[in-house]
Each structure stands twice: as structure tokens, then as C-alpha cells.
Amino acid sequence: MTKEDAGSWVRPTGSWASSAANRTSMQGNRSRDTKPELAIRKLLHAAGLRYRVDRSPLKGVRRRADIIFGPAKVAVFVDGCFWHGCPEHFVPPKTNPGYWDGKIGGNRERDRATDALLTAAGWSVLRYWEHESPEDCARRIADEVAARRPGPTAR
């Protein structure tokens, strides 16, 4: 992957935690198996859908989707309101604002670049916010997977 493929995202520099307590708290944040992800996955599994978790849809590209349906080429991301800058719920931290502006902005840019890479490779990209109803998300995911699954071949 070239720099152009990755977008213009650059990791911000400087201290990322304003205190040792904040650092410990943030290190405890999960990157996978969050409550919203688990709720959606439970509903998808109950509906009979099988999927892979925390995998890269594209070989050689360091971008991981929360849930992937390989044969249907559907990649699902469940974005946290804080880490991805939800327009409804994101409240910028008051401490170390320069770091957080760059961090959240970089996450947003990387999300858009990931969407573009996957779409160009023929994947359907579905993004949901952590505050969205798991039932609604699971229904929309199931509909997209069903629409993209290869049908039976004519003989």
C-alpha cells in the first residue's frame, strides 16, 4: 500500500495522556469485543449468519473491520462515539486539545480512506455508531449480506 492509498492521515505527536490516571483509563479501552459489537454479533449469529471478527478484508492492508462476511464482501465497522467523532455525542476533551484534535481528525480521515479502499476493491462498507440500536444494525447488515450473497447458479 502506498502513502496515497492510506490517505493523508499522520499520527499526531506529543503526549497523548494528560495524567497517569487518564493513561491507565484509556489503555483499558477495548479495540474489539465492545458491548455494541457483541450485541450486534449476537443478533447476527441468532439469525443464522456466520462471520469473521476483527479481520482485514484486504490482504496486505492494515485495516481491520469489526465484522466481515467474506463471500458477500461486506465489511462492518461499529465506531465509538468518542474515538470516531460522532456528530451527535462527541465532546472534545478540555485537556490536551491539540493532541485530541489531531487524533480524532486522523481517525476520521483513516475511516474515509478505509471506506474508499474497500469500496474500490468491491466491498460493501457498513458503518454504525455505538449508540445505534443493535437490532436495527443487525437487520440492515443481514439485508446487505443477503443482497450480496451469490445466488444459486443456473444449470
- Domains belonging to the chain, first-starting first, are 29-148 (3.40.960.10)
Contacts 24+ apart (CB under 8 A), 56-65: 57/118, 57/121, 57/123, 58/117, 58/118, 58/121, 58/123, 60/1, 61/1, 61/5, 61/117, 62/1, 63/110, 63/114, 63/117, 63/118, 65/118
155 residues of the chain, pLDDT tens digit each: 444 444 554 544 555 555 666 566 555 566 678 999 999 999 999 999 999 999 999 999 999 999 999 999 999 999 999 989 999 999 988 888 888 899 999 999 999 999 999 999 999 999 999 999 999 999 999 999 999 987 765 55
